[in-house]
Amino acid sequence: MIEGEKVRLTALSPEFLPEYRRWINDPEVADFLSSIGFPLSLAEERQWLERMRRSGECATHFTIVTKGGEPIGNIALMDINYLNRNAQLGIMIGERDHWGKGYGKDAICTLLDYAFGTLCLNKVDLKLNVENKRALACYEKCGFKLEGKKREQIFYRGRYCDELIMGILKEDWEKTKSRRKA
């Protein structure tokens, strides 16, 4: 378990399967998720968790839990590359009443601490739909910098949208942290 200020990051758990399923099936939550599709059943969600477990990916996938113990979303470091010491971040806040309150930001900062501090990565990057203004603002607040734009990379709501690539270096992160402490 990794402690943040507002949340803690815990292991993925079968006990949260009904929540995982509800989040991913919520049209508003899933709006910007790239693996969008038909409604998922509990059995399909269980198979997903099994796959994560077998592949070992679950080691860097976490459920975001409030200090009050309520699961509100998932966050992950994916495609960890220990040669180049980088990884890709993905996050979903599934409980919509927790949107816009800093939970996502705290979860990301907590995970970045883990990525740079514990795993000694040099860089974390991520991709997002250019229309996803809420995510963009949050990533900027966490210290991610815009690195590029893939033109018309994503089919979203009937049209092609650009995809942004953002990244944060260990160096950026340490500066952000020292500024926050000062």
Question: What are the catalytic residues?
Answer: 139
The answer to whether residue 54 forms part of the interface with another protein (CB under 8 A) is: no
Out of 3, 11, 14, 39, the residue judged to bind another protein by CB under 8 A: 39
Residues whose CB is less than 8 angstroms from the CB of residue 177 and which lie 6 or more positions away in sequence, other chains included: none
Q: Which is nearer to another protein, 69 or 158 (CB)?
A: 158
Q: Which is nearer to another protein, 18 or 117 (CB)?
A: 18
Number of residues engaging another protein in binding (CB under 8 A): 20
Tell me how far apart the alpha carbons of residues 9 and 63 are, in angstroms, rounded to a whole number.
Answer: 6
The answer to whether residue 93 forms part of the interface with another protein (CB under 8 A) is: no
Stretch that binds another protein, among 62-70, 98-106, 125-133, 154-162 (CB under 8 A): 154-162
DSSP string of 94-113? --GGGTTTTHHHHHHHHHHH
| Cross-sheet strand order for the sheet of 145-156 | 2-3, 7-11, 61-66, 71-81, 86-93, 123-129, 159-169, 145-156
The answer to whether residue 34 forms part of the interface with another protein (CB under 8 A) is: no
Name the site residues for another protein (rule: CB under 8 A). 24-27, 29-31, 36-44, 47, 155, 157-158
